[in-house]
Amino acid sequence: MSRRVLLVDDEPVLRRSLERALRLEGYDVRTAADADSAYAILEELTVDAALLDLRIPHLTGDALAVALLHRWPYLDGRILLMI
């Protein structure tokens, strides 16, 4: 069983590169370009971890992390902020 990861990054090339690298390591990766897309994914699926870019449109990654923890507290300790 592979671990499911949510990857949030607004830069398409970087997002695809990170997704590819994680898939090669055996992760089931779901990607989002912004906070709204991340919320939609989390409404449908449970993820084991979330990787958040610090700079995304309309909301910083750290603010998104706080919002995600408020709504999905099981993610506590499972969020990584990327520079």
Average pLDDT of span 22-44? 97
Q: What angle do CA 6, 69, 65 make, to 5 degrees?
A: 60
What pTM value is reported for the model? 0.93
pLDDT in tens, 57-82: 888 889 999 999 999 999 999 999 99
